[in-house]
Structures are given as C-alpha cells and as structure tokens.
Amino acid sequence: MDHQVIDSHCHLDFPKFNKDRDDTIQRARKIGVDQMINSGVDPKTNISSLELSQRYEYIHATLGFSPHLSPEATDERVRQMLAFIEDNVARIVGIGEAGLDYHYFNSNAERNRQIEVFKQVIELADRYNKPLVIHGREAEDVALGLAGHLDKVIFHCYGGDLQTMRNIVDAGHFISIPTLVCFSEHHQEIAKEAPLEHMLLETDSPYLSPRKGRNEPAFITDSLPWISYLKGIQEMDIAEVTRKNTIRVFGL
Ligand SMILES: [Zn+2]
C-alpha cells in the first residue's frame, strides 16, 4: 500500500497470537498499518497491553474492564482495576474498553451493575482527561447518555442504530468501523452514513475476521475498498482521514 492506516482497536496480546505475535505485527507494518492501539479488557490483559506498548513504539495501550466482567466483579476487584489504570495513566493513550453489553446480559441486576462500574470508569477518564473507548453492544444509546459529556469518546466496533450514530457524531465523538464492514450489511449502512471526519477503523483482532479464521491488524486493508465503494471516496482518503482522526483523538 502507498498509504498508511491505523488499526484503532486490537488485542494482539491474546493467546491466539502466542505462536506468531511478532510476525503478525511485522506483517501489518509491511502492508502499511503503521500504528496499532491494543485494548485491555481485564486485569491480566491490561498488564499484557502495557507490555506490548513498551516493546513496540508504534503500539499504544488503552486499559479497561470489559462489561462482561462487571456483573460478577466484587467492589474490591473493581477498585483494584481502577487503581491499576490510575497508576499507569501516564503510559496509556486512553481508557477502555469498558461499557455495557446488553446482548449477553439480560437481567436488570446485571445491567445495573455494568452501569455502576462503567460510571466509575467514566469518572476516571474525566479526571485524567483521557479518551474513553466504549464497548456498548445493544446499549449504545445508554452508553452515550452516561459518557457523552466527556471530551473524547470512541464507540469501538459500532453496531448500533443510525440515529444513535448521528447523536454520537453530533456530540463530537467517534465511531470505529470494524472489519465486519466487509460482510455485514448493517455495518455497511453505518459506514455509508457516518461522516468520515468522525470515523476510525479497527479490526478487533483476533475477532471478526473478514477472511477465514483469526483476524489480524493487516486485514484492516480489506475494509478500505468496501468503505471507499460505500462512500464514493478514494481508499487513500479513507485511510488518511481515519488515520488523522485516530492520531488526534488519542493524541498519538
Ligand atoms: Zn475489543
């Protein structure tokens, strides 16, 4: 590729990359993915995300706490997670992923606990003026209501409705388009409607592969022809504008 692109959300520290992590990273770099943002989801991956960001100058870390964990998490565990983020806040480019997941959690008790934990994470992002990376599956509007007042918010792997997408953008925030856009009609509709100035790109590797098997940051290039076709904008400009957006919102 003659242009560079950023993968704004991946999990290169996950075990799926244990056998070929460095090869995977170099493959991405070679094809033009010049920077990657690796997001922690729990105490263990927060540590490994930090380690990755120290080993590679072009990999940045965000530290978070997945909403999948909060229904079961004790107050003490939540306190420890927040303290770890706070202790390392100078070494990270953002906080998250954190948020809500109403797809996997149906009960009011579970959802209320997610909200309770999320509010504490939001407060931390606010206090340190860090961008917040939100996982808001099937609760995007609720998440926006809770975090919309922050300076910088990124809805990672956005899959909500178009109206909420517009509200996010109107509030000055960002949506991140995953490689799902290569095969999901709903994500194609989002990519078509979302203004490029508020768009980031991500793979969410190792998940959501546009090819068979494991996803990896190099495959972000699969999204470019799709988004280019959907928006009628050249691939080069999609790569460049989303790259600039990512650099600006995360202060890379
Ligand atoms: Zn993720």
Domain ranges of the chain: 5-250
- What's the 3 CA to ligand 1 centre distance in angstroms? 25
- What's the 171 CA to ligand 1 centre distance in angstroms? 23
- What's the 129 CA to ligand 1 centre distance in angstroms? 21
- What's the 163 CA to ligand 1 centre distance in angstroms? 23
State the Cα–Cα distance between residues 84 and 144, nearest whole angstrom: 25
Assess whether pLDDT exceeds 70 at residue 200.
yes
Q: Would you place residue 227 in the very low, low, confident or very high pLDDT band (cuts 50, 70, 90)?
A: very high
- What's the 9 CA to ligand 1 centre distance in angstroms? 6
5-250 architecture in CATH?
Alpha-Beta Barrel (3.20)
- What's the 63 CA to ligand 1 centre distance in angstroms? 11
Q: Which of 120, 168, 159, 167 is nearest to 136 (CA)?
A: 159
Q: Give the pLDDT confidence score for residue 130 in this predicted structure.
A: 98
Assess whether pLDDT exceeds 70 at residue 38.
yes
Q: Give the pLDDT confidence score for residue 3 in this predicted structure.
A: 83
How much is the mean pLDDT over the chain?
A: 97
- What's the 128 CA to ligand 1 centre distance in angstroms? 22
**Mean pLDDT of the 176-202 span:** 98
**Mean pLDDT of the 180-205 span:** 98
Give the bridge partners for 63, in sequence order.
95
Q: Which of 37, 101, 35 is nearest to 65 (CA)?
A: 101
Q: Which residues surround ligand 1, an ion (CB under 5 A)?
A: 204
Q: Give the pLDDT confidence score for residue 13 in this predicted structure.
A: 98
Q: Would you place residue 2 in the very low, low, confident or very high pLDDT band (cuts 50, 70, 90)?
A: low
Assess whether pLDDT exceeds 70 at residue 43.
yes
**Mean pLDDT of the 220-232 span:** 98
Q: Give the pLDDT confidence score for residue 1 in this predicted structure.
A: 63
Instruction: Please state, for a pLDDT cut of 70, what percent of the chain lies above it.
Output: 99
State the Cα–Cα distance between residues 46 and 83, nearest whole angstrom: 12
Helix (H, G, I), strand (E, B) or coil at 82: helix
